[in-house]
Amino acid sequence: MAVGICNIDQNRSEESLLSLVIPVYQEGSHIKSSIDVIEKVLKDHHIKHQFVLIDDGSKDNSWEEIKQLANDKANVTSLRLSRNFGKESALCAGLDYADGDMVIVMDADLQHPPEIIPEMVRVWREEGFDVIEGIKSSRGKENPIYKWCAKFFYYIIYKTSDINLGKASDFKLLDRKVIEAWKDMPERAIFFRGMTAWLGFDRKQINFDVAERVNGKTKWSLFRLIRLALNAITSYTSVPLHCITVLGIIMFIGAVLMGLQTLYMKFVGGATSGFTTVILLQLIIGSSIMISLGMIGIYLTKIYKEVKARPRYLVAKCVKSKEGQAFDKSE
């Protein structure tokens, strides 16, 4: 439980610090220019800010680039995770290192338009909302199969856990007290979008059009997406496990009816070879048992991972710029 959250008194003013948490994976070719674009918007609107850049174990020159940024600029914290932990864990690391009164989480490829940051900050400051969510009014250029799968995935989450993530994105502004509440969630398997939805607080949505990636390509392969979807569904709901029970009951009723019919046929002497029925029954029962076991296996793996309680991420290096004078804690 988050003790003392109500004591966090906020003074939302022009002086409030905004932390920008940006996960970076294989974005070396354009991370510098992306940061410049974002910084220009912030400077133009006189928003006091700090960048927290997390290199999620990239194999390209991303780390060198963000390390350089920490050396060159006065307000950058650059982290390098010990390996590729995935975007969700990188975000966790960033939120832990952010000092701001509010935090904006965004992608490194400018698909989340920086132009709406000032509006998000204004809403936070003047209207008092704690979570300002970027809502995709269009999903940008996407493969139709991917689009359809995403729709189906959100539909399942909505139906099983009542959390509507249809147009949600990871582009969000979170107030300091929301971050503190987030840090109190101890689970290892993280799905940022779903977990922030679960947190609640006063929320406002702002629409944006997903821009095209500036450079490089998306890191979400079909396999990664399926893993994320399974992770999200099993993190949020135990409905699939209940489905198994319902399925079991339906199968049982079917089996009793089938049994009665078979006995009746036997007694009236009209029993046919029945081979098809046996094969069909075997297939149906066999496959439902397999699916059920698999589903239980997924939940078991989750419990196993949570019980191990390993850290969500490991920071290998950290470079912070301080008042124009850079220092390197690790090298």
Would you tell me which residues interact with ligand UDP (CB under 6 A)? 23-25, 27, 56, 84, 86-87, 90, 107-109, 111, 218-220
d(CA 173, CA 102): 7
Q: Which CB sits closer to Mg ion, 129 or 171?
A: 171
Residue 23 binding target from Mg ion, ligand UDP, none, CB below 5 to 8 Å by type: ligand UDP
Judged by the rule CB under 5 A, the positions of this chain that interact with Mg ion are 107, 109, 111
d(CA 20, CA 112): 12
Residue 219 binding target from ligand UDP, Mg ion, none, CB below 5 to 8 Å by type: ligand UDP
Closest CB 217 distance from ligand UDP, rounded Å: 7
Residue 319, amino acid: V
Residue 59 CB neighbours (<10 A):
10
Q: From start to end of the chain, where are the E strands?
A: 18-24, 49-55, 76-81, 102-105, 131-138, 168-175, 203-209, 315-322, 325-328
Residue 55 binding target from Mg ion, ligand UDP, none, CB below 5 to 8 Å by type: none
Q: Which CB sits closer to ligand UDP, 241 or 314?
A: 314
Closest CB 312 distance from Mg ion, rounded Å: 22
From residue 131, give the alpha-carbon distance in Å to each of 1, 127, 181, 198, 217: 20, 11, 12, 12, 29
Percent composition of the chain: helix, strand, coil (DSSP 3-state, to 5):
50, 20, 30
SS3 109: coil
Residue 220 binding target from Mg ion, ligand UDP, none, CB below 5 to 8 Å by type: ligand UDP
Closest CB 14 distance from Mg ion, rounded Å: 31
Q: Which CB sits closer to ligand UDP, 31 or 102?
A: 31
Instruction: Collect all residues with Cβ–Cβ distance below 8 Å to 163 and sequence separation of at least 6.
Output: 157, 194, 197, 198, 236
Closest CB 140 distance from Mg ion, rounded Å: 9
Closest CB 119 distance from ligand UDP, rounded Å: 21
Q: Which CB sits closer to ligand UDP, 23 or 240?
A: 23
Q: Which CB sits closer to ligand UDP, 101 or 170?
A: 170
Closest CB 74 distance from ligand UDP, rounded Å: 23
DSSP class of residue 237 equals -
Q: Which CB sits closer to Mg ion, 212 or 328?
A: 212
Residue 24 binding target from Mg ion, ligand UDP, none, CB below 5 to 8 Å by type: ligand UDP
d(CA 61, CA 170): 25
